[in-house]
């Protein structure tokens, strides 16, 4: 009997064959935390009595949520984490260097590995063919200290996406459509595994957007086969030696299969206050927008900024709205600066903020007030997430974000492309 991608990777890391439903203790190749979950993880490591970590080279503490710190309490947390790094030799990714999930995809994540992160969007690494999953601070602490984690091997839902994506429709629309279809708990405890010709030709940025939002359907991982596009990505990041081709067995056993015809997809929006509350752009009606936010681990990549800049080039942002652009990492920021993308945003009247999670967390850099409405490219729109519990968050693609910034209301990007 063949194996799914999840079963293959977990069997390899458990040192024995494991199947869906079994509990496995697996080796962890990379562990990381962010500044909101790191301090608690470090306290748990200390509570367990560990003075050193399993592999300092494969442990990274990210400073991305409060980047730079807007409050002294968080500066104290940062100092606490830096001190732990000095004592144990673990890696630090400083303020401004970017969102954990983006940076690990650039520097660390490899196909076929197990990645544990104390952040729910760790599943982004599934785009590179890794079993990457989010956990709480205690599980991350154990992974950091012991180099292992316990997991229930998930059943897999196969998602087959076929035919050509229409103009103006992106990875974000595929995943919003899927979540709208199966629901916010549609894949709870399960793996989502992607296949089909649309997926095969989808570039890494689109794959990362889709993998990132696996958790919004409740999934443990959203995993892609590792193929030529994976190889090209690793090569472009200067680490071609880390490539390994990986696909599920042809006779792997799936719990179910969901089929999506890409040709029928339209720009898709998640409406307040749940990610599965989706509508197509044609159904959305008139929704005036106070703030447009482009960025996050979901859509803060160079390709995302390019899509938005292409629409915004030579146009001004609507007088009754404002736009915030937050590159996902230092590398994205540098490249977008070099190729003129950031200049296009500035000319249009957008504000560029430091690489990091930015406004998505409701902490700084674009906190919403009472009654305000935001169109964001982030993965989540829960009540009060970006500030006031009386504000409203709509989710869409970078193209929708750009068209919306021009019109001051949720707008269809297809007429600009």
Partner 1 sequence: MKGRVWKFGDAISTDDIIPGRYFYLRSNLPELSKHILEYDRPQFAGMIAPGDFIVAGKNFGLGSSREHAALVIKLNGIQAVLAKSFARIFYRNCFNNGFPAIICDTDRLREGDEIELFLEEGEIANYTRKETLSFLPLPPVMKRILSDGGLVEHVKKYRDLKLTT
Measure the CA angle with vertex 83, ends 77 and 87; round to 5°: 145
CB atoms inside a 10 Å sphere around CB 378: 27
Q: Which is nearer to partner 1, 40 or 287 (CB)?
A: 40
CA 269 to CA 212: how far, in whole Å? Answer: 16
Q: Which is nearer to partner 1, 148 or 158 (CB)?
A: 148
| 77 lines the binding site for partner 1 (CB under 8 A) | yes
| 274 lines the binding site for partner 1 (CB under 8 A) | yes
- The edge-to-edge listing of strands for the beta sheet with 59-62 is 91-93, 59-62, 30-33, 114-118, 131-134
Judged by CB under 8 A, which stretch of 292-300, 370-378, 381-389, 407-415 contacts partner 1?
381-389
- With CB under 8 A, what is the number of residues at the site for partner 1? 56
Residue 257's SS3 state is: strand
| 189 lines the binding site for partner 1 (CB under 8 A) | yes
- The edge-to-edge listing of strands for the beta sheet with 191-195 is 221-223, 191-195, 156-162, 256-261
Q: How far is the CB of 249 from partner 1 (least distance, A)?
A: 24
| 316 lines the binding site for partner 1 (CB under 8 A) | no
Residue 242's SS3 state is: helix
Burial class (CB in 10 A: 0-12, 13-18, 19+), 274: middle
| 78 lines the binding site for partner 1 (CB under 8 A) | no
Q: Which is nearer to partner 1, 36 or 98 (CB)?
A: 36
Element (H, E) at 304: helix 302-312
Interaction with partner 1 in 99-158: which residues (CB under 8 A)? 118-120, 122, 134-139, 141-142, 145-146, 148-150, 152
| 182 lines the binding site for partner 1 (CB under 8 A) | no
CA 295 to CA 90: how far, in whole Å? Answer: 27
Q: How far is the CB of 388 from partner 1 (least distance, A)?
A: 9
The distance from CA 305 to its chain's CA centroid, rounded to whole angstroms, is 15
| 376 lines the binding site for partner 1 (CB under 8 A) | no
Interaction with partner 1 in 24-53: which residues (CB under 8 A)? 24-25, 36-37, 39-40, 44, 47-49
Tokens of residue 77, six digits: 């947390």
| 382 lines the binding site for partner 1 (CB under 8 A) | yes
Q: How far is the CB of 184 from partner 1 (least distance, A)?
A: 6
CA 31 to CA 21: how far, in whole Å? Answer: 24
Q: How far is the CB of 80 from partner 1 (least distance, A)?
A: 8
Omega within 30 of 0 (cis) for the link into 350: no
Q: Which is nearer to partner 1, 78 or 318 (CB)?
A: 78
Q: How far is the CB of 276 from partner 1 (least distance, A)?
A: 9
Q: Which is nearer to partner 1, 219 or 281 (CB)?
A: 219
Q: How far is the CB of 217 from partner 1 (least distance, A)?
A: 10
| 68 lines the binding site for partner 1 (CB under 8 A) | no
Omega within 30 of 0 (cis) for the link into 273: yes
Q: Which residue has the tokens 């970078």?
A: 398
Q: How far is the CB of 38 from partner 1 (least distance, A)?
A: 10
| 13 lines the binding site for partner 1 (CB under 8 A) | no
Q: Which is nearer to partner 1, 141 or 312 (CB)?
A: 141
Strand 322-326 and strand 291-295: pairing? parallel
CA 375 to CA 239: how far, in whole Å? Answer: 36
Q: Which is nearer to partner 1, 360 or 375 (CB)?
A: 360
Interaction with partner 1 in 205-234: which residues (CB under 8 A)? 215, 218, 220
Select the residue interacting with partner 1 from 71, 263, 288, 320 (CB under 8 A). 71
C-alpha to C-alpha distances, 150 to 13, 78, 114, 147, 220, nearest whole angstrom: 11, 29, 12, 11, 13
Q: How far is the CB of 213 from partner 1 (least distance, A)?
A: 12
Element (H, E) at 291: strand 291-295
In the complex, the residues that contact partner 1 under the rule CB under 8 A are 23-25, 36-37, 39-40, 44, 47-49, 65-66, 71, 73-74, 76-77, 80, 118-120, 122, 134-139, 141-142, 145-146, 148-150, 152, 184-185, 188-189, 215, 218, 220, 274, 361-363, 367, 380, 382-385, 387, 389
């Amino acid at each position: 009997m063949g194996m799914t991608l999840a079963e293959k990777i977990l069997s390899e890391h458990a040192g024995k064959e494991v199947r869906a439903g079994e509990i496995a203790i697996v080796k962890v190749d990379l562990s990381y935390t962010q500044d909101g979950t790191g301090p608690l993880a470090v306290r748990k490591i200390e509570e367990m009595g560990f003075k050193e970590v399993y592999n300092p080279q494969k442990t990274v503490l990210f400073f991305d949520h409060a980047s730079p710190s807007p409050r002294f309490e968080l500066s104290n947390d940062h100092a606490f984490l830096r001190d732990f790094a000095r004592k144990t030799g673990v890696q630090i990714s400083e303020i401004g260097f970017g969102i954990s999930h983006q940076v690990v995809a650039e520097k660390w994540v490899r196909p076929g590995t197990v990645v544990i992160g104390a952040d729910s969007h760790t599943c982004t690494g599934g785009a590179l063919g890794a079993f990457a999953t989010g956990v709480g601070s205690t599980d991350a602490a154990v992974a950091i200290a012991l180099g292992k984690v316990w997991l229930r091997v998930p059943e897999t839902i196969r998602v087959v996406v076929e035919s050509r994506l229409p103009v103006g429709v992106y990875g974000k629309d595929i995943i919003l459509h899927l979540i709208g279809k199966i629901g916010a708990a549609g894949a709870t405890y399960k793996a989502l595994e992607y296949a089909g010709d649309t997926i095969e030709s989808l570039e890494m940025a689109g794959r990362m957007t889709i993998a990132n939002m696996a958790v919004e359907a409740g999934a443990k991982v959203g995993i892609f086969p590792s193929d030529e596009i994976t190889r090209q990505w690793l090569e472009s990041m200067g680490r071609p030696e880390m490539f390994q081709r990986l696909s599920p067995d042809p006779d792997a056993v799936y719990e179910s299969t969901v089929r999506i015809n890409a040709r029928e997809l339209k720009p898709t929006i998640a409406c307040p206050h749940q990610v599965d509350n989706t509508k197509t752009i044609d159904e959305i009606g008139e929704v005036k927008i106070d703030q447009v936010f482009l960025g996050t681990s979901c859509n803060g990549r160079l390709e995302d900024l390019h899509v938005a800049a292409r629409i915004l080039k030579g146009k001004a942002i609507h007088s009754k709205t404002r736009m915030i652009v937050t590159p996902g990492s230092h590398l994205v920021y540098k490249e977008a600066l070099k190729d003129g993308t950031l200049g296009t945003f500035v000319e249009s009247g957008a504000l560029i903020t430091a690489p990091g999670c930015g406004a998505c967390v409701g902490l700084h850099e674009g906190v919403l007030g009472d009654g305000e409405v935001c169109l964001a490219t982030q993965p989540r729109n829960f009540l009060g997430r970006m500030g006031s519990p009386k504000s409203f968050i709509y989710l869409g693609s970078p193209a929708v974000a750009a068209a919306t910034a021009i019109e001051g209301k949720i707008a269809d990007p297809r007429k600009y492309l």
